[in-house]
Amino acid sequence: TAGGSVVDNLAYTYTGNQLTGLSESVRTAPSNDIYAPGNAESGSYSYDANGNLQNDSRKSLNFSYNFLNLVSEVRTGGTVTAAYTWL
């Protein structure tokens, strides 16, 4: 709480061990809160056949993996925001 008010009241939805949805029930969330109502709906996350997170639509993130299932690239929209090399 900040100033005695609830900032976040998040509800998580899972399928097995994979996060499939996230919702916020606080009506007066701060304007810059990434978990603002309507900003984190069910279906925000998608996974590949190996269980790797491929997409977080809430933050417009896309993840790529190498043959060892280690993250190799993170994109925001079409821009690479992080690239990883594994030895």
Regarding whether 82 and 57 lie in a shared domain, the answer is yes
Regarding whether 51 and 18 lie in a shared domain, the answer is no
At 46, is the secondary structure helix, strand, or coil?
A: strand
Regarding whether 67 and 87 lie in a shared domain, the answer is yes
Question: Over the stretch 13-63, which tens digit does the pLDDT of each residue have?
Answer: 888 888 887 777 766 655 555 555 555 555 578 999 999 999 988 788 999
Q: Locate tokens 């790529």: which residue?
A: 64
Residue pair 61/77 in contact by the 8 Å Cβ criterion: no
Question: What is the domain range of residue 15?
Answer: 1-43
Regarding whether 74 and 55 lie in a shared domain, the answer is yes
Regarding whether 79 and 54 lie in a shared domain, the answer is yes
Torsion of CA 67, 48, 73, 34, to 10 degrees: -160
pTM here? 0.66
Q: Which tokens hold the place of 51?
A: 């269980």
